Amino acid sequence: MSDAARHTVTFDESASGERLDRALALALPALTRSRVKALIEGRRVTLADGTTIEEPSRKVKTGDRFVVDIPEPEPATPLPQALALDILYEDSDLLVLDKPAGLVVHPAPGNPDHTLVNALLAHCGDSLSGIGGVRRPGIVHRLDKNTSGVMVVAKNDRAHQALSKLFAAHDLTRIYQALVWGEPKPRTGTIDAAIGRHPVDRKRMTVRKTSGRAAVTEYWLEKRFGPALHPLASLVGARLGTGRTHQVRVHLAHIGCPVVGDPVYGRKSRNTAAPEALKEFPRQALHAARLEFRHPTTHKVMSFATELPQDFKKLVASLNGVK
């Protein structure tokens, strides 16, 4: 089997009821079951009619016909790619930047290149810290692809270790701005709710009562839009007390105010009065607005803040006239 190929597999009654990842691994012996599972979760397996399959546990039926698309192998290490970076500060130890929405932080299935790491390798060269591993050099923390805002990157291993300790101890300030549906009640508060993997959908995080890791988010109302009694949406600030995956998105959804445009934890508005710009915003309206930390070498407190990106700012402006 070549490294890059397309294979069509049709199952007879002998495979009926079998898990798809196991059945395909048996039908294509050059692929391990874990490799097949990764291909399915990477949207590389479809039915003959073109329908994408994303559930490795899907049960096979007699006569099912699947197309398995095996991509070209990715480079063992990311390649330098000259991409524009909005750098806020840089010295020999670290670099602080304003990440745009749409930019993936590091290579991953489905995003093998044109990531922040590729851009950093081109900008920093061999000085970039290697502690994060070959695929994540310099990366101390990350923002989701469609979240914009301030990030710090380590340029050497000593800085990486020091910054990682700050993030692990939550000994720094991380503040987000989010446009959410409705209005948080109370208008200011602290969400103290453990977060863990969803028991069914492993790609999602959720609040867990009996398991999960401690997660704390302080929030406050900055502005609300729409009727006083039933606001349509609100701009809120959120300070992270911990740093769990998708923490702000999960916690705001937990209190009934999901982030506008969030494809995983959000919702579609049934409010006919909601502007189309609000209902159709193409990403989560979430921005890492401020990052404050102590420099690993000078020990000076450094603070960085950025404005909302243009698409987010335009969305908020469109709501100012909503009554």
Q: What is the DSSP string of 151-201?
A: EEEESSHHHHHHHHHHHHHT-SEEEEEEEEES--SSSEEEEE--EEE-SS-
192 assigned to active site = no
Arithmetic mean of pLDDT, 52-67:
91
| 20: region left, alpha or beta (phi > 0 left; psi from -120 to 50 alpha) | alpha
User: Does the pLDDT at position 137 exceed 80?
Assistant: no
Q: What is the pLDDT of residues 164-215, one digit of tens each?
A: 999 989 999 999 999 999 999 999 999 999 999 888 887 789 999 888 899 9
- Same-domain pairing of 65 and 84: no
- CATH code for position 146: 3.30.2350.10
Same domain, 205 and 180: yes
Domain boundary among 142, 161, 180: 161
Number of domains in the chain: 3
pLDDT confidence of residue 240: 97
Q: Are residues 62 and 203 in the same domain?
A: no
Mean pLDDT along residues 300-313: 97
Residue 227, pLDDT score? 87
Domain final residue pick, 110, 136, 161: 161
Whether pTM exceeds 0.95: no
pLDDT at residue 1 is higher than 60: no
Confidence of residue 111 (pLDDT cuts 50, 70, 90): confident
| pLDDT (mean) for 55-83 | 85
Burial of 31 by CB count in 10 Å (0-12 exposed, 13-18 middle, 19+ buried)?
buried
CATH code for position 52 = 3.10.290.10
User: Do residues 88 and 97 touch, judged by C-beta distance below 8 A?
Assistant: yes
Could you tell me the residue range of the domain that residue 117 belongs to? Answer: 77-93+100-161
The token pair that represents 272 in the structure block: 């006919």
Distances from the Cα of 275 to the Cα of 81, 169, 270, 296, 319, angstroms:
39, 42, 11, 46, 8
Q: Which of 144, 157, 171, 262 is catalytic?
A: 144
Same domain, 175 and 321: yes
Question: Does residue 114 contact residue 145 with C-beta atoms inside 8 Å?
Answer: no
What pLDDT is stored for residue 2 in this prediction? 45
